[in-house]
Amino acid sequence: MIWHLVATFSAGLGAAGIAFLLRSISRQKLPKWIIPGFAGLGMLGYQIYFEYNWFDHQSSRQPEGSVVTSSQQGEVFWRPWTFFYPMTTVFTVVDTNNLQVRNLDGLTLVEFIEYRFEKKYIDVVTHQRYVMNCTEAQRIAVSDEQQVLSKQPQLVERDSPLFVAVCQSSN
Protein backbone atom coordinates (compact mmCIF):
# COMPACT_ATOMS: atom_id res chain seq x y z
CA MET A 1 0.00 0.00 0.00
CA ILE A 2 2.83 2.41 0.78
CA TRP A 3 4.37 1.76 -2.65
CA HIS A 4 1.06 2.53 -4.30
CA LEU A 5 0.99 5.86 -2.48
CA VAL A 6 4.59 6.60 -3.50
CA ALA A 7 3.74 5.76 -7.13
CA THR A 8 0.70 8.04 -7.05
CA PHE A 9 2.75 10.98 -5.77
CA SER A 10 5.50 10.23 -8.28
CA ALA A 11 2.99 10.33 -11.12
CA GLY A 12 1.74 13.69 -9.82
CA LEU A 13 5.27 15.07 -9.57
CA GLY A 14 6.12 13.83 -13.05
CA ALA A 15 3.03 15.42 -14.57
CA ALA A 16 3.69 18.66 -12.66
CA GLY A 17 7.23 18.62 -14.04
CA ILE A 18 5.87 18.33 -17.58
CA ALA A 19 3.56 21.29 -16.93
CA PHE A 20 6.45 23.30 -15.49
CA LEU A 21 8.51 22.52 -18.60
CA LEU A 22 5.63 23.55 -20.88
CA ARG A 23 5.22 26.78 -18.94
CA SER A 24 8.96 27.47 -19.23
CA ILE A 25 8.98 26.76 -22.97
CA SER A 26 6.04 29.13 -23.48
CA ARG A 27 7.95 31.88 -21.59
CA GLN A 28 5.42 31.91 -18.74
CA LYS A 29 2.45 32.51 -21.08
CA LEU A 30 0.62 29.44 -19.80
CA PRO A 31 -1.29 30.11 -16.55
CA LYS A 32 0.23 29.13 -13.20
CA TRP A 33 -2.65 26.80 -12.37
CA ILE A 34 -1.50 24.41 -15.11
CA ILE A 35 1.16 22.95 -12.77
CA PRO A 36 -1.17 21.76 -9.97
CA GLY A 37 -3.77 20.86 -12.60
CA PHE A 38 -1.33 18.55 -14.34
CA ALA A 39 -0.25 17.12 -10.97
CA GLY A 40 -3.85 16.27 -10.12
CA LEU A 41 -4.47 14.76 -13.56
CA GLY A 42 -1.27 12.71 -13.26
CA MET A 43 -2.31 11.28 -9.90
CA LEU A 44 -5.86 10.60 -11.11
CA GLY A 45 -4.53 8.98 -14.29
CA TYR A 46 -2.26 6.65 -12.33
CA GLN A 47 -5.11 5.74 -9.97
CA ILE A 48 -7.39 4.86 -12.89
CA TYR A 49 -4.60 2.84 -14.53
CA PHE A 50 -3.96 0.95 -11.28
CA GLU A 51 -7.65 0.17 -10.71
CA TYR A 52 -8.23 -1.18 -14.21
CA ASN A 53 -5.07 -3.31 -14.11
CA TRP A 54 -5.81 -4.75 -10.64
CA PHE A 55 -7.43 -7.92 -12.03
CA ASP A 56 -4.60 -8.64 -14.49
CA HIS A 57 -2.00 -7.99 -11.80
CA GLN A 58 -3.67 -10.19 -9.17
CA SER A 59 -4.47 -13.04 -11.55
CA SER A 60 -0.87 -13.08 -12.83
CA ARG A 61 0.35 -13.53 -9.24
CA GLN A 62 -1.57 -16.79 -8.78
CA PRO A 63 0.43 -20.04 -8.61
CA GLU A 64 0.81 -22.39 -11.57
CA GLY A 65 -2.34 -24.47 -11.99
CA SER A 66 -4.74 -21.80 -10.74
CA VAL A 67 -7.79 -21.17 -12.89
CA VAL A 68 -9.95 -18.05 -12.75
CA THR A 69 -13.51 -19.40 -12.67
CA SER A 70 -15.53 -16.19 -12.47
CA SER A 71 -15.20 -12.43 -12.30
CA GLN A 72 -17.58 -9.57 -11.59
CA GLN A 73 -17.47 -6.07 -12.94
CA GLY A 74 -19.07 -3.14 -11.21
CA GLU A 75 -19.60 0.58 -11.11
CA VAL A 76 -18.88 2.94 -8.24
CA PHE A 77 -20.57 6.34 -8.05
CA TRP A 78 -17.42 8.20 -6.89
CA ARG A 79 -15.62 6.80 -9.95
CA PRO A 80 -17.87 8.11 -12.73
CA TRP A 81 -15.74 6.57 -15.50
CA THR A 82 -16.79 3.10 -14.29
CA PHE A 83 -20.32 3.75 -15.57
CA PHE A 84 -18.91 3.88 -19.11
CA TYR A 85 -16.29 1.15 -18.69
CA PRO A 86 -16.95 -1.05 -15.62
CA MET A 87 -13.89 -2.43 -13.82
CA THR A 88 -13.37 -5.90 -12.40
CA THR A 89 -13.88 -5.79 -8.65
CA VAL A 90 -14.22 -9.49 -7.71
CA PHE A 91 -12.87 -12.75 -9.09
CA THR A 92 -12.66 -16.35 -7.92
CA VAL A 93 -9.84 -18.83 -8.42
CA VAL A 94 -9.55 -22.61 -8.06
CA ASP A 95 -6.15 -24.24 -7.52
CA THR A 96 -6.30 -27.34 -9.72
CA ASN A 97 -3.02 -28.71 -8.31
CA ASN A 98 -4.64 -29.40 -4.92
CA LEU A 99 -7.78 -31.30 -5.91
CA GLN A 100 -8.70 -34.36 -3.86
CA VAL A 101 -10.60 -36.93 -5.93
CA ARG A 102 -12.69 -39.73 -4.43
CA ASN A 103 -14.82 -42.33 -6.19
CA LEU A 104 -17.70 -43.40 -3.98
CA ASP A 105 -20.72 -45.53 -5.01
CA GLY A 106 -20.24 -44.70 -8.69
CA LEU A 107 -19.94 -40.96 -8.00
CA THR A 108 -16.85 -38.89 -8.66
CA LEU A 109 -16.39 -36.44 -5.79
CA VAL A 110 -13.72 -33.75 -5.93
CA GLU A 111 -12.81 -31.64 -2.93
CA PHE A 112 -11.38 -28.21 -3.74
CA ILE A 113 -10.87 -24.74 -2.30
CA GLU A 114 -12.26 -21.68 -4.04
CA TYR A 115 -10.47 -18.38 -3.37
CA ARG A 116 -12.37 -15.10 -3.74
CA PHE A 117 -10.46 -11.85 -4.33
CA GLU A 118 -12.26 -8.55 -3.75
CA LYS A 119 -10.96 -5.09 -4.59
CA LYS A 120 -11.84 -2.79 -1.74
CA TYR A 121 -9.77 -0.07 -0.12
CA ILE A 122 -7.48 -3.01 0.70
CA ASP A 123 -7.52 -6.32 -1.15
CA VAL A 124 -9.62 -8.97 0.60
CA VAL A 125 -9.06 -12.69 0.03
CA THR A 126 -11.47 -15.28 1.39
CA HIS A 127 -11.62 -19.01 0.79
CA GLN A 128 -14.27 -21.70 0.98
CA ARG A 129 -13.88 -25.47 0.76
CA TYR A 130 -16.32 -27.33 -1.51
CA VAL A 131 -17.05 -30.86 -2.64
CA MET A 132 -18.06 -31.16 -6.30
CA ASN A 133 -20.12 -34.13 -7.44
CA CYS A 134 -18.84 -34.36 -11.01
CA THR A 135 -21.29 -37.13 -11.91
CA GLU A 136 -24.40 -35.06 -11.09
CA ALA A 137 -22.86 -31.54 -11.52
CA GLN A 138 -23.53 -30.37 -7.96
CA ARG A 139 -21.39 -28.71 -5.33
CA ILE A 140 -21.79 -28.29 -1.61
CA ALA A 141 -19.86 -26.13 0.87
CA VAL A 142 -17.99 -27.93 3.64
CA SER A 143 -15.98 -26.70 6.61
CA ASP A 144 -12.30 -27.38 7.18
CA GLU A 145 -13.39 -30.14 9.57
CA GLN A 146 -15.35 -31.84 6.72
CA GLN A 147 -18.77 -30.80 8.07
CA VAL A 148 -21.46 -29.93 5.51
CA LEU A 149 -22.37 -26.23 5.75
CA SER A 150 -25.53 -26.22 3.61
CA LYS A 151 -28.43 -28.61 3.33
CA GLN A 152 -29.01 -28.27 -0.43
CA PRO A 153 -26.27 -28.74 -3.00
CA GLN A 154 -25.94 -26.09 -5.72
CA LEU A 155 -26.34 -27.11 -9.33
CA VAL A 156 -23.36 -26.27 -11.52
CA GLU A 157 -23.57 -25.91 -15.29
CA ARG A 158 -21.45 -28.55 -17.01
CA ASP A 159 -19.97 -25.96 -19.37
CA SER A 160 -19.11 -23.46 -16.61
CA PRO A 161 -15.43 -22.66 -16.02
CA LEU A 162 -15.74 -23.98 -12.46
CA PHE A 163 -17.03 -27.40 -13.53
CA VAL A 164 -14.47 -27.67 -16.32
CA ALA A 165 -11.59 -26.66 -14.03
CA VAL A 166 -12.53 -29.01 -11.20
CA CYS A 167 -13.94 -32.07 -12.96
CA GLN A 168 -11.77 -32.22 -16.07
CA SER A 169 -8.60 -31.45 -14.11
CA SER A 170 -9.37 -34.33 -11.75
CA ASN A 171 -9.32 -36.95 -14.52
Q: How many helices (H) and strands (E) does the chain have?
A: 5, 7
Q: Based on the domain organization, do 47 and 72 belong to the same domain?
A: no
Residues 89-132 have pLDDT tens digits of 999 999 888 899 988 888 889 999 999 999 888 889 999 999 99
Does residue 58 belong to any structural domain of this protein? no
Q: Would you state the pLDDT for residue 120?
A: 84
Q: Based on the domain organization, do 141 and 163 belong to the same domain?
A: yes
Does residue 140 belong to any structural domain of this protein? yes
Q: Based on the domain organization, do 12 and 75 belong to the same domain?
A: no
Q: Based on the domain organization, do 77 and 148 belong to the same domain?
A: yes
What sign for the dihedral angle of Cα 62, 120, 9, 46? positive
Q: Looking at residue 82, what DSSP letter applies?
A: G
- Predicted structure pTM score: 0.82
Specify the number of domains making up the chain. Answer: 2
Q: Based on the domain organization, do 48 and 122 belong to the same domain?
A: no
Residues 64-91 have pLDDT tens digits of 989 999 999 988 888 888 999 999 999 9
Is residue 170 predicted with pLDDT exceeding 70? no
Does residue 60 belong to any structural domain of this protein? no
DSSP states along 124-149 = EEEEEEEEEETTTTEEEEE-TTS-B-
Q: Would you state the pLDDT for residue 171?
A: 61
Does residue 110 belong to any structural domain of this protein? yes
Q: Based on the domain organization, do 77 and 142 belong to the same domain?
A: yes
Q: Based on the domain organization, do 9 and 45 belong to the same domain?
A: yes
- Stretch among 45-49, 73-77, 139-143, 144-148 having the lowest mean pLDDT: 144-148
- Residue 33 neighbours by CB distance under 10 Å: 9
Q: Based on the domain organization, do 77 and 38 belong to the same domain?
A: no
Domain around 95? 65-169
End of a domain among 52, 74, 92? 52
Q: Based on the domain organization, do 156 and 81 belong to the same domain?
A: yes
Report, as an integer, the average pLDDT of 4-24.
95
